[in-house]
Structure 1
Amino acid sequence: MPMEYFFYLLPPLFFVLFTCHAFLSSIIMKHSPKPAKNCEKGQEISLPLGRTGWPVIGETLDYLSKIQSGTLENFVTDRMNKYSSKVFKTSLIGQPMAILCGPEGNKFLFSNEKKLVQVWFPGWSNKIFPKSHDVSNNEDFINIRRMLPLFLKADSLQKYVGIMDLVMKQHLQKNWDGDHVEVCLVVRKYTLALACRLFLSIDDPREVEKLAKPIEDIVAGIFSGFPINLPGTALNRAIKASKEIRASIDSIVKQRMADLTEKIVSPVQDILSHMLLTVDENGQFLNIVDISSHLLGLIFSGYSTLNGTLTFVMKYLAELPHVYDEVLREQMAVASSKKWPDLLGWEDLRKMRYSWNVASEVLRLTPPGFGAFREALTDFTYAGYKVPKGWKLHWIAHATHMNPEYFPNPEKFDPSRFERNQPAPYTYVPFGGGPRMCPGNEYARLAILVFIHNVVTKFRWEKVIPNERVFNDPLPRPGHGLPIRLHRHDFAVSESIF
């Protein structure tokens, strides 16, 4: 999963609550470094072309309006046409910012991590995901990324496919037993149960249910339009929810430490065991506070990033019968090759090529995050323009995803575009790219395919509200939660194994 996206997305009205900070930043902008001399050519290297908009507010209003209207790509293309197809400057939430455009800009940012740029997070994220020691957000992010591949890379996840399938089958029996479901609601239950099972080995539905309300409070706080810590605000509730979940995780961590010492559990049981047995670059084991905070971040990421993708998979399959039929054909071929009560395995998922093309097209049209931020570590030159140290940089997935140069008829849902020719490098970036590829992308792929297999082989469905409106606040969501009417297949793919 692209975990970094969800700590620094700009929610609606974000700028209002950072007016003081923005005012100071705008003053700093007026005293930005002057254009540097190009000693070779005797010419000045200018800042990128563009405008900083209104005092304090900058261009945040236009940026947010594009998010809410689902046309964020226009924020980029309008300025590319006016200023430069390579890079332009703007000001968002009081921050001087350079937008690097197109696949070349994406490649530059992804390839220069810790060299010229670093991940940038807003300061309030520390209140929800606190650290036990004085370390920058970026250093902490690097540390957790270093250990994640030990658990989340493809060959490590292979042995968990059966567990993921079992979690989904249990979820279907418990939450899909009627004729109607609200997709947003049942998807949230599945993604939380899956994250709890794989990250913490929590398989008691009652224990998972205890985390549902707190994790929703955290989601609401992070995406709140009022990220300020005052009683009654969404951020305040998110901070309290974080403390509640981390207290629960603390007790699990302590028990796991004892179980590992007594060799009662496997050291590769889940990501918690991996964290407890992994040392950092200084040869030190992580402490309980940091492990609990990291696990909370992972549960949040595994939960929040998948919800939208799975919801829109269901939406498009309801709207496009010919796509659904092709997915059903592929999934039935997989199901018919299984012997009851065998669970899905790694090789089964490798056969789901068309289903993954469908999911890929959903990720293109509605990526799990609309972009990410970096901060310049030093002055550098890009496309002939100077980007000063301390400036923020922003890449926006929609800018290439919705560009007809890279994806013809970009508004059309067309899974076949992933069959013919793979997208050009750095044009398709729902999980980032290159060295900055999100370490959770393989986990997301498996979770999505397991979900599709189980739902499609049991149901056909139709939307209860045919023209249900999609809102962006800031991520896209069906206005009424996508209620659907289920139609069970006449054939039985498998019997209960519980």
Structure 2
Amino acid sequence: MEMIKFIVLPTVLALFVLFLHFIIRIIKLRKLNLPKGTLGLPIIGETLEFFKANLEGKQIRFIQERMKKYDSRVFKTSLFGENIAVFCGTAGNKFLFSNENKNVQVWWPSSVKKLLRLSLVNKVGDEAKITRRLLMSFLNPETLRNYLPKMDRIAQHHINTHWKGKEQVVVYPIIQLYTFELACCLFLSMEDPIQLSNLSSYFEEFLKGIISFPINFPGTRFHKAMKAADAIKKEIKLIMKKRKVDLEEKKASPTQDLLSHLLVTSDTSGRFMSEVEILDNMLLLLFAGHDTSRSAISLIMKYLGNLPEVYEQVLKEQLEISQGKEEGELLQWEDVQKMKYSWNVASEVLRLSPPINGAYRNAMKDLTYADYTIPIDWKLHWNTRTTHMDPTLFTNPEKFDASRFEGEGPIPYSYVPFGGGPRMCLGQEFARLEILVFMHNIVKRFKWDLVNPDENFKYDPMLEPEKGLPIELHPSHYTS
């Protein structure tokens, strides 16, 4: 009897304290002037409606309906079991981007945190700055320009292997091969086709579970993603082990790829990344370095297939760049700088159909915004569509118009496919080169027609075509 009291009484007391905490919290929240909106069902919130809109490719509808119903500046909802304030418009973007590490910090759902552990995506404050600076010392334009000819060679080999001689291809899975091979080559010096194929299949499982309920049970997306992450890091660890020896014996160059760079480069205090940190950051960059680009390039193929006049302008620019080059001569840095119209086209595609729809922050203290109070530890979401599709920022926002990016381009905080502020995508320049090199090579080789011109794209979690975007190829006589 005494033993039962010893166990039951503390349990009852703990439950009472927990209950009292929630009651006090609810009373406190009711006194606050929270943003308008609904938190939906307990725990689930509006997550199901959010996922449904993503899978239908209509996330903008989810956002716009609530902006119209509640407040176009900010509204509240509940996703992934968290209370979330959705910030809208340029003012919302500016508030979040400019308050990084002051009043807000990066936040991701539990599935992301558990899969990407000690990588940059989970670091905040000074730790994030140090890690970002170390990674950017490889991903900056000055360093990447040295790898441009290699990127061109990979793109040409990819097209000769997977596109040449075909009457029809399915774009999305084939572009996966290009972006993955490019990332693996520049980050790991990995070029073996069998090894690349095996690693690519693991990343497909990883991608499907990156944004999911973190239930690590056999059969769930998250469990499959965890197993895939372990398999990927096992492969990278083997490469790392050999690379360390090769660097010591001068058989490998410190500048040959990102892995070598991380193994030989310390931060400003002289500290080197641990093995676990390198593995987690390599996993992050391989994932981010090819999946978002795969989505972007597939969408560019869609728009160029639907807009022949835009295709012709891109082709004209790329042929002018090729003129005067000797046969077999690879792209150089000055060539890419001439691809202004092509990048304007890519930028307009990213405005209309951004591969990632936004990101999240955590409130470090009670915040005041647009006359509302947002409590500490609430999650804050910015979404690309609240500005990209705003007619006051982009006239006729549904219309494709590459001229929007001429001159000074869009106003600050309106065009945010790469985010903004201290957390802006560090792979932005890598993605730009990856996209332009592919555009240069593909338009000179082919014209194409879309098999399904109105094919729907959905977020799962990246923007991807429901049927893979099949196209009919028409070889061009421009092959140089």
TM-score, normalised with respect to structure 1: 0.86
- Alignment partners' CA distance in 2, 1:329 and 1:263: 45
Q: Determine the structure 2 residue equivalent to 1:195.
A: 183
- Alignment partners' CA distance in 2, 1:288 and 1:29: 45
Tell me which amino acid in the other structure corresponds to 1:377: M
* Matching of residue 252 in structure 1 with residue 246 in structure 2: no
Q: CA RMSD in A?
A: 2.5
Q: Determine the structure 2 residue equivalent to 1:265.
A: 252
Note if contact 1:120-1:137 (Cα within 8 Å) is conserved in structure 2.
Answer: no
Distance of aligned partners of 1:349 and 1:291 in 2 relative to their CA distance in 1, 3 Å threshold: same
Which whole-Å deviations, capped at 9, do the CAs of 1:307-333 have from their partners, x for residues lacking one?
111101111111111011111101111
* Matching of residue 436 in structure 1 with residue 423 in structure 2: yes
Q: Determine the structure 1 residue equivalent to 2:28.
A: 34
SS of the residue aligned with 2:90? helix
SS of the residue aligned with 1:269? coil
Tell me which amino acid in the other structure corresponds to 2:270: G
The alpha-carbon deviation at position 32 of structure 1 amounts to 5.0
Q: Determine the structure 1 residue equivalent to 2:199.
A: 211
SS of the residue aligned with 2:270? coil
Q: Determine the structure 1 residue equivalent to 2:172.
A: 184
* Matching of residue 46 in structure 1 with residue 33 in structure 2: yes
Q: Determine the structure 2 residue equivalent to 1:275.
A: 262
The alpha-carbon deviation at position 290 of structure 1 amounts to 1.8
* Matching of residue 454 in structure 1 with residue 441 in structure 2: yes
* 1:380-459 matched pairs, under 5 angstroms: 380-419=367-406, 422-459=409-446
Q: Which of 352, 357, 361 is the equivalent residue of 2:339?
A: 352
Note if contact 1:29-1:96 (Cα within 8 Å) is conserved in structure 2.
Answer: no
* 1:287-306 matched pairs, under 5 angstroms: 287-306=274-293
- Alignment partners' CA distance in 1, 2:171 and 2:324: 29
- Alignment partners' CA distance in 2, 1:389 and 1:93: 17
Structure with greater helix share of residues: 2
- Alignment partners' CA distance in 1, 2:381 and 2:436: 31
SS of the residue aligned with 2:400? coil
SS of the residue aligned with 1:358? helix
Distance of aligned partners of 1:456 and 1:266 in 2 relative to their CA distance in 1, 3 Å threshold: same
- Alignment partners' CA distance in 2, 1:466 and 1:163: 34
* 1:22-421 matched pairs, under 5 angstroms: 28=22, 31-32=25-26, 34=28, 46-131=33-118, 137-138=123-124, 142-177=129-164, 178-223=166-211, 227-280=214-267, 283-419=270-406
SS of the residue aligned with 1:447? helix
Q: Determine the structure 1 residue equivalent to 2:3.
A: none
Q: Determine the structure 1 residue equivalent to 2:464.
A: 477
- Alignment partners' CA distance in 1, 2:451 and 2:65: 37
Note if contact 2:187-2:257 (Cα within 8 Å) is conserved in structure 1.
Answer: yes
Distance of aligned partners of 1:114 and 1:81 in 2 relative to their CA distance in 1, 3 Å threshold: same
Which whole-Å deviations, capped at 9, do the CAs of 1:194-247 have from their partners, x for residues lacking one?
0001101112223222212111111122245x5421112222222122111111
- Alignment partners' CA distance in 2, 1:189 and 1:347: 27
SS of the residue aligned with 1:186? helix
Tell me which amino acid in the other structure corresponds to 1:319: N
- Alignment partners' CA distance in 2, 1:157 and 1:307: 19
SS of the residue aligned with 1:341? coil
The alpha-carbon deviation at position 129 of structure 1 amounts to 2.7
SS of the residue aligned with 2:449? strand
Note if contact 1:90-1:96 (Cα within 8 Å) is conserved in structure 2.
Answer: yes
The alpha-carbon deviation at position 33 of structure 1 amounts to 7.4
Count of aligned positions: 459
The alpha-carbon deviation at position 268 of structure 1 amounts to 1.9
- Alignment partners' CA distance in 2, 1:131 and 1:155: 27
Structure 2, unpaired ranges of 5+: 1-17
Tell me which amino acid in the other structure corresponds to 1:253: M
Distance of aligned partners of 1:108 and 1:236 in 2 relative to their CA distance in 1, 3 Å threshold: same
The alpha-carbon deviation at position 375 of structure 1 amounts to 0.3
- Alignment partners' CA distance in 2, 1:153 and 1:420: 24
- Alignment partners' CA distance in 2, 1:116 and 1:322: 47
Tell me which amino acid in the other structure corresponds to 2:400: F
Which whole-Å deviations, capped at 9, do the CAs of 1:288-316 have from their partners, x for residues lacking one?
22211211111011121111111011111
SS of the residue aligned with 1:250? helix
The alpha-carbon deviation at position 163 of structure 1 amounts to 0.8
Distance of aligned partners of 1:142 and 1:75 in 2 relative to their CA distance in 1, 3 Å threshold: farther
The alpha-carbon deviation at position 262 of structure 1 amounts to 2.7
Distance of aligned partners of 1:128 and 1:335 in 2 relative to their CA distance in 1, 3 Å threshold: same
- Alignment partners' CA distance in 1, 2:395 and 2:122: 42
Distance of aligned partners of 1:420 and 1:492 in 2 relative to their CA distance in 1, 3 Å threshold: same
The alpha-carbon deviation at position 424 of structure 1 amounts to 0.9
Distance of aligned partners of 1:467 and 1:102 in 2 relative to their CA distance in 1, 3 Å threshold: closer
The alpha-carbon deviation at position 436 of structure 1 amounts to 2.8
- Alignment partners' CA distance in 1, 2:114 and 2:371: 39
Note if contact 2:111-2:210 (Cα within 8 Å) is conserved in structure 1.
Answer: no
- Alignment partners' CA distance in 2, 1:246 and 1:360: 33
Distance of aligned partners of 1:28 and 1:71 in 2 relative to their CA distance in 1, 3 Å threshold: farther
Note if contact 1:250-1:289 (Cα within 8 Å) is conserved in structure 2.
Answer: no
Tell me which amino acid in the other structure corresponds to 2:133: R
Which whole-Å deviations, capped at 9, do the CAs of 1:237-259 have from their partners, x for residues lacking one?
22122111111111211222222
The alpha-carbon deviation at position 381 of structure 1 amounts to 1.8
- Alignment partners' CA distance in 1, 2:23 and 2:234: 42
Distance of aligned partners of 1:136 and 1:442 in 2 relative to their CA distance in 1, 3 Å threshold: closer
TM-score, normalised with respect to structure 2: 0.89
The alpha-carbon deviation at position 138 of structure 1 amounts to 3.8
Tell me which amino acid in the other structure corresponds to 1:463: L
Distance of aligned partners of 1:294 and 1:475 in 2 relative to their CA distance in 1, 3 Å threshold: closer
The alpha-carbon deviation at position 137 of structure 1 amounts to 4.9
- Alignment partners' CA distance in 1, 2:106 and 2:313: 40
- Alignment partners' CA distance in 1, 2:124 and 2:45: 26
Note if contact 1:49-1:84 (Cα within 8 Å) is conserved in structure 2.
Answer: yes
Tell me which amino acid in the other structure corresponds to 2:174: V
The alpha-carbon deviation at position 92 of structure 1 amounts to 1.9
The alpha-carbon deviation at position 142 of structure 1 amounts to 5.0
Q: Which aligned runs of 4 or more in structure 1 are off by greater than 4 angstroms?
A: 27-30, 139-143
Note if contact 1:468-1:479 (Cα within 8 Å) is conserved in structure 2.
Answer: yes
